[in-house]
Structure 1
Amino acid sequence: MLSKLLSCILFLFCSLCKLDHVKSRTSRNETEIQALLAIKARIPLDPYGVFNSWNDSLHFCNWPGVICGRRHRRVTVLHLSSLKLAGDLSPHIANLTFLRNHLEGNIPSELGHLTKLKFLQLSLNKLSGTVPNKLYNISSIYFFSLADNQLQGQIPPYIGLTLPNLEFVSLGENNFSGPIPTSIVNFSRLVSLELGVNALAGPIPRNLGSLQNIEYLNLGTNFLESSNDLSFLTSLTNCTNLVFLALSKNNLTGILPDSIGNLSANLNQLRIQTNYISGTIPKEMGNLVGLEWLGLYGNMLTGSIPDSVGKFSKMKYFGAFINRITGEIPHSLGNLTQLIQLSLFDNLLEGRIPTSLGNCSYLVLLDLSRNRLNGMIPKEVIGLIPEFLAELPFFTNLNLSFNSFEGKVPTKGVFNNISAFSVVGNNKLCGGIEPLRLPDCSTEIAKKGKNFRRSAIIASSIVLFAVLFFISLVAIKRRLSLSRKKEGLATPLDKKHPQLSYAELLHATDSFSLANLIGKGRYGSVYKGILSGDDQTTVAVKVLNLQQQGADRTFKAECEALRKLRHRNLVKVITSCSSIDFQGNNFKALVLELLPNGSLETWLHPSSTELHNSPILNLIQRLNIAIDVASALDYLHSQFDKPVVHCDLKPSNVLLDTDFTAHISDFGLTRFLSDTTEQSITEQSSSMGIRGTIGYIPPEYGIGKEISTHGDVFSYGIVLMELFTGKRPTDNIFTGELSLREYVKTAMADHVVEIVDTWLKFENKAAVNQNCQSSNIWKCLDSVLSIGVSCSADSPNER
């Protein structure tokens, strides 16, 4: 049905093209046509005949695999993956100047022949392998960007000698290894150097100060070392234009030099967090009066916070948590009147909260937990806060734990929600709401409580690991205004669920490290995390990619679904997080129970590294999984007044626990049928594309039919056949009229033994050697596969 529809659409489109054939030929970009034909010429093996229609009969924007922008009709995407093409990448690809992404494979060495090339932009692709040495010899290049690929190898030591005109270098988010070449100090014109998020190791060049025009320098998230010598920071004082300096997440050791205070007066962000830096915070650092963001956290700093920090008049974010800082919180912090977030948790700070913090009228997030602070929260701080707190819709988490606070716990605002605050580890508190089960306050304390009730409101700004920085007051007001109009930043799940902050999830997942990445989909990534606390709960953290169109809508849909749905074969939700990250961007995540055996996808289609290390799913386990998924769908479809449609059932969304019990996950596309209207379907189709995943989408969705439970039944039929054949519906063997369903249907009764998963055939080798067709095992498989065929019928009414 779908193939016929596409044929009709193609016929109609070709008919329209004929009417405008002469005009389209004259309006084509001949340079891009020749570039595409050159690419075709370099790929001799084309088993699916993709390039057969790359000719003059169609506008090049309609050639298979070619995607053009709507406005300029220029090539923006070449999508030629999974087509078994063989050949190499033509250097003429450089003539596709509007190309955005989807480039795969190695960078062709022929690009090095473009000796007059000035601008090389290959970032945000899937390029792999090493960079051809010839590219490092094109002396005319001034813009050199290969960021966000999968490139590896070392940066050649001579790069600073062969590329003298470089002004912009971006090699971040790759797998480059080895040292940073000392020759980079010869980049006299360099304005921006981005080498972050790689595997670079060794020392940081000492003479970075030779880059006198540098404005942006990012060496963060590598394995760089300093051998207890941070004197290269002194060299950087020559870089008078420096605005951004990131050295975070490396292996830097040593003591911060006093000369750090002589860095550029224009320095806006200084990121040296998550290293092994020791010693004290130099008082000279207060000379960096232009700083708006200072990250010192995750080091081994000792001593007290110098009073000179009061000079940071433009500071918006100050993070020095997880160190060994002692002494009292300096009163001079009250001079930071633009401060938005102050995070000093997990230190050895003592004394009371300084009353001068009352001057920080824009302070949104304050985290002083896990210190040795004592006394009551000073009443002087309170006076300026209540109206301000009332304007902050995202103020929902409060942590006063493990200090020495005393007095009566309020019962209003955030203190009225037991899941929104924590006061554990403060043994002198009393009162509060009933679930706290604190002792009643004595008469004497109650008298003091009149004043304390007001003063305790400041505690509501001590947010548990909250994060927000580097945005101006205007941007914050705009964000708050939009949040009030839409949904705010409160968690959309039931209040009974504990709430977690961005900082907690950052800590739980080791800064969302690749080592903890366990899955990635259209709308986000899933990370393994360990929540802090006595029980060290292991969870799965699904982080939404809010840059993807429709991600915010899927977050709301998933929260709505998980709030209402409870079943043993559905993944259990723990909580959600709707907050702001360290860059001031919206952050949304779901925290789910982590099922230790991963997804059904990884068991059916293990990678080459997993193939020899993992056991296989036996027949009984597969049958139980099929029953579990069917039970979950029955619950969704028939246990509510308003049927629920999952919309994206596939093996990667079926997770397995320790007993291999199956649980359906990923409810981002879920719809409650009473809410489904033709209008909403149209809106979602235009903004999000076809709902679901290719291969598992029922054919009627492709032609705009309404979403229904029949769609889930179709997807279930596909999953069922995949479960027992081991073949994806998108495998290369399924072309033309041959689909997974036809493949199974044709083999029914007499040839089932030929199509079942090879692992199952190996497991039941003894049965295979006997009379297979009379075996109960094969009768069972025949019966199960016939269900899969029935469920995946083209017509919804036949399923």
Structure 2
Amino acid sequence: MFDNHLIGSLPSEVGLLINLVELDASGNNLSAEIPNSLGSCIMLVSLHLEGNEFQGIIPQSLKSLRSLEEIVLSSNNLSEQIPEFLGKFRFLRHLNLSYNNFEGKMPEEGIFSNATGLSILGNPNLCGGRSKLHLPACPNIKPHSSRGLLARKVVISVACALAIIIGMSCFIGARSMLKRPRSIPVISRSYKDWKVGVSYSELVQSTDGFSTENLIGSGSFGSVYKGLVPGDGTLVAVKVLNLQQQGASKSFMDECKALRSVRHRNLLKIITACSSIDNQGQDFKSLVFEYMVNGSLEMWLHLRNDEHTQSKRLSLVQRLDIAIDVASALDYLHHRCETSIVHCDMKPNNVLLDEDMVAHVGDFGLARFLLEASNDPAQSQSISTGLKGSIGYIPPEYGMGGQVSILGDVYSFGILLLEMFTRRCPTDDMFKDGMSIHQFIAMAMPDHAMDIVDPLLLVECEVVDVDGSPIQARRLVECSISVMQIGLSCSATSPSERMLMDVVVNKLKTIRDSYLNLRGRG
């Protein structure tokens, strides 16, 4: 129910939805206070109430929503202090309280210590907090003498009189503004504005004319540029889609709204979209995503042999965490969306890493959308051929005319998993004359696993057992063998032999927990 024209208050009956996972009432005209009953929705993961006219405080009842991963309350009229309990939410990664009337001392725990996951712009009366936030120090309140107290009373009286005069002026001005038709809330240009929609000229400005200096990647679906949101300098990633035919994708914005409603902590968040005409009069379609500061998994797996290699290598646990993140995202797309979404291009370039090295899968849903966008059967066939994946990750059945399916994604994930733990790309020159990365690893398992595991992982092996053998090496290789066996199962030639992603997630978590327990004892 986001981006509508809903008015009035958010019904207290929302508290009856105890299994509610996501609530998005953003971009409406809702007012009054956030209902206390919302605290009953203990399964809530994502809460979006931005772009409304909510007043009062953030209710204390929300402290029971400990599963929340993102809270966006920007562009409202909320006031008083920001509650301390938000800093105790263990899973909270994104908190946006910008453009409200919050005041007083900033909390410092949890999300409030993470400047990249927190936005508090447009709250000039906040103070204190972590130094990264660059807020003014909170004033020290000292006892006043009787003479000073009298002076204070005079000042307060004058200030109150002025406040009443200013308040009346604001009231009269607000009354006159309410007579005008109202659409999207207008605030200073920021990340919030772009949630509703963005123009071609704004994207040109933000990417410096789609300059090559800002080009950060390209693939089956289009080119990606780094951009700056005008005004506050927030970094975003702008993907310009490959659309050649005139009048293509008439339902583009509707599709984008649907994709925006697909939310998971390991999916790359779509901020907004642009459907316009470029400077040459051609159709222009673009998506704007959150910018991931640590780039793609591809960059981390295939670093050049230079001085940065050792400082940027991925540890075993990091690889396990990333594998679990990607598997969780695919499990969500395959089994937990209203309609299953097949990714069609699962590869390291489409796995992006944030500041905490949490993986976010990008380009989900675009294959289906671009196929539906074309009205030309011949072009649809051409697009279909190009959107079934990237060389090395395409399941064998697609090459024989098979339909795209979630089991095709499982195959691509299996190849990605093998690549992560051997750091061998499936398109390496060594894989030719019928040899594939799947066959290469299957032949080495399990006796020669040490020979194919990424050598950079072996740097972790330092502890020596009583017989002189490295304990960590043995455990690390055992763990890697278990993971690669999952990769081999997922990339089996026959789709019926592949694991489903929910099974993969559970198996990978078990392997990670077992390795961490053994390492702790070692």
Instruction: Tell me if 1:785 matches 2:496.
Output: no
1:189-224 Cα offsets, whole Å, 9 max, x none, are xxxxxxxxxxxxxxxxxxxxxxxxxxxxxxxxxxxx
Structure 2 gaps of 5+ residues are 1-168, 499-522
| Mapping 1:71-90, distance limit 5 Å | none
Instruction: Tell me if 1:529 matches 2:232.
Output: no
Instruction: Tell me if 1:506 matches 2:204.
Output: yes
State the percentage of identical aligned residues. 50
1:296-326 Cα offsets, whole Å, 9 max, x none, are xxxxxxxxxxxxxxxxxxxxxxxxxxxxxxx
Equivalent residue number for residue 494 of structure 2 = 795
Equivalent residue number for residue 420 of structure 2 = 723
Whether the 8 Å CA contact 1:502–1:580 is kept in 2: the answer is yes
Equivalent residue number for residue 459 of structure 2 = 762
Equivalent residue number for residue 592 of structure 1 = 289
User: Normalized per residue, which structure has more helix?
Assistant: 2
Equivalent residue number for residue 438 of structure 2 = 741
Measured in 1, the distance between the counterparts of 2:197 and 2:436 equals: 46
Displacement, 1:735? Answer: 1.0
| Mapping 1:51-450, distance limit 5 Å | none
The structure number with the bigger radius of gyration is 1
Distance 1:681 1:621, change over 3 A: farther
Whether the 8 Å CA contact 1:701–1:707 is kept in 2: the answer is yes
Equivalent residue number for residue 315 of structure 2 = 618
Whether the 8 Å CA contact 2:247–2:283 is kept in 1: the answer is no
Measured in 2, the distance between the counterparts of 1:663 and 1:547 equals: 28
Distance 1:695 1:616, change over 3 A: same
Whether the 8 Å CA contact 1:554–1:668 is kept in 2: the answer is no
Whether the 8 Å CA contact 1:725–1:756 is kept in 2: the answer is yes
Whether the 8 Å CA contact 1:557–1:669 is kept in 2: the answer is no
Whether the 8 Å CA contact 2:461–2:470 is kept in 1: the answer is no
Give the aligned residue type for 2:320. Answer: L
Displacement, 1:685? Answer: 3.6
Whether the 8 Å CA contact 1:561–1:670 is kept in 2: the answer is no
Measured in 2, the distance between the counterparts of 1:641 and 1:756 equals: 39
Instruction: Tell me if 1:710 matches 2:407.
Output: yes
Measured in 2, the distance between the counterparts of 1:655 and 1:750 equals: 33
Distance 1:541 1:551, change over 3 A: farther
- Give the alignment's TM-score, normalised by structure 1: 0.36
Whether the 8 Å CA contact 2:229–2:236 is kept in 1: the answer is yes
1:31-85 Cα offsets, whole Å, 9 max, x none, are xxxxxxxxxxxxxxxxxxxxxxxxxxxxxxxxxxxxxxxxxxxxxxxxxxxxxxx
Displacement, 1:615? Answer: 1.3
Displacement, 1:548? Answer: 8.3
Measured in 1, the distance between the counterparts of 2:273 and 2:442 equals: 43
Displacement, 1:693? Answer: 0.8
Whether the 8 Å CA contact 1:622–1:723 is kept in 2: the answer is yes
| 541-550 or 508-517, larger mean C-alpha shift | 541-550
Measured in 2, the distance between the counterparts of 1:796 and 1:556 equals: 34
Displacement, 1:786? Answer: 0.2
Instruction: Tell me if 1:629 matches 2:326.
Output: yes
CA-based RMSD of the aligned residues comes to 4.1
Equivalent residue number for residue 689 of structure 1 = 385
Equivalent residue number for residue 517 of structure 1 = 215
Whether the 8 Å CA contact 1:648–1:669 is kept in 2: the answer is no
1:62-110 Cα offsets, whole Å, 9 max, x none, are xxxxxxxxxxxxxxxxxxxxxxxxxxxxxxxxxxxxxxxxxxxxxxxxx
Displacement, 1:591? Answer: 0.8
1:298-355 Cα offsets, whole Å, 9 max, x none, are xxxxxxxxxxxxxxxxxxxxxxxxxxxxxxxxxxxxxxxxxxxxxxxxxxxxxxxxxx
Give the aligned residue type for 1:689. Answer: T
Measured in 2, the distance between the counterparts of 1:554 and 1:728 equals: 37
Whether the 8 Å CA contact 2:236–2:291 is kept in 1: the answer is yes
Displacement, 1:541? Answer: 0.8
Measured in 2, the distance between the counterparts of 1:666 and 1:727 equals: 23
Give the aligned residue type for 2:206. Answer: A
Displacement, 1:538? Answer: 0.9
Measured in 2, the distance between the counterparts of 1:630 and 1:755 equals: 23
Distance 1:612 1:671, change over 3 A: same
Whether the 8 Å CA contact 2:461–2:472 is kept in 1: the answer is no
Measured in 2, the distance between the counterparts of 1:762 and 1:550 equals: 55
1:577-610 Cα offsets, whole Å, 9 max, x none, are 1122333332221110001000000111124568
Measured in 2, the distance between the counterparts of 1:757 and 1:557 equals: 44
Whether the 8 Å CA contact 1:632–1:664 is kept in 2: the answer is yes
Distance 1:608 1:542, change over 3 A: farther
Whether the 8 Å CA contact 1:531–1:537 is kept in 2: the answer is yes
Measured in 2, the distance between the counterparts of 1:720 and 1:710 equals: 15
1:555-588 Cα offsets, whole Å, 9 max, x none, are 7797365233100000011101112233333222
Measured in 2, the distance between the counterparts of 1:654 and 1:763 equals: 24
Among 658, 662, 666, the alignment partner of 2:363 is: 666
Give the aligned residue type for 1:625. Answer: I
Distance 1:560 1:710, change over 3 A: farther
Measured in 2, the distance between the counterparts of 1:550 and 1:604 equals: 40
1:486-541 Cα offsets, whole Å, 9 max, x none, are xxxxxxxx99932211221112112222221111123321111110124x211111
Give the aligned residue type for 2:481. Answer: D
Give the aligned residue type for 2:456. Answer: W
Question: What SS does the aligned partner of 2:208 have?
Answer: coil
Whether the 8 Å CA contact 2:462–2:472 is kept in 1: the answer is no
Measured in 1, the distance between the counterparts of 2:473 and 2:340 equals: 41
Measured in 2, the distance between the counterparts of 1:600 and 1:606 equals: 10
| Mapping 1:551-562, distance limit 5 Å | 559=256, 562=259
Whether the 8 Å CA contact 2:253–2:273 is kept in 1: the answer is no
Measured in 2, the distance between the counterparts of 1:650 and 1:557 equals: 27
Distance 1:774 1:579, change over 3 A: closer
Question: What SS does the aligned partner of 2:237 have?
Answer: strand
Measured in 1, the distance between the counterparts of 2:347 and 2:443 equals: 23
Distance 1:580 1:752, change over 3 A: same
Measured in 2, the distance between the counterparts of 1:749 and 1:730 equals: 23
Give the aligned residue type for 1:578. Answer: S
Whether the 8 Å CA contact 1:669–1:692 is kept in 2: the answer is no
Measured in 2, the distance between the counterparts of 1:668 and 1:606 equals: 29
Whether the 8 Å CA contact 1:753–1:761 is kept in 2: the answer is no
Displacement, 1:643? Answer: 1.6
Distance 1:710 1:653, change over 3 A: same
Measured in 2, the distance between the counterparts of 1:593 and 1:643 equals: 23
Give the aligned residue type for 2:414. Answer: G
Structure 1 gaps of 5+ residues are 1-437, 466-493
Measured in 1, the distance between the counterparts of 2:306 and 2:210 equals: 23
Give the aligned residue type for 1:634. Answer: D
1:436-470 Cα offsets, whole Å, 9 max, x none, are xx966579x96xx99x96xx99x99xxx99xxxxx
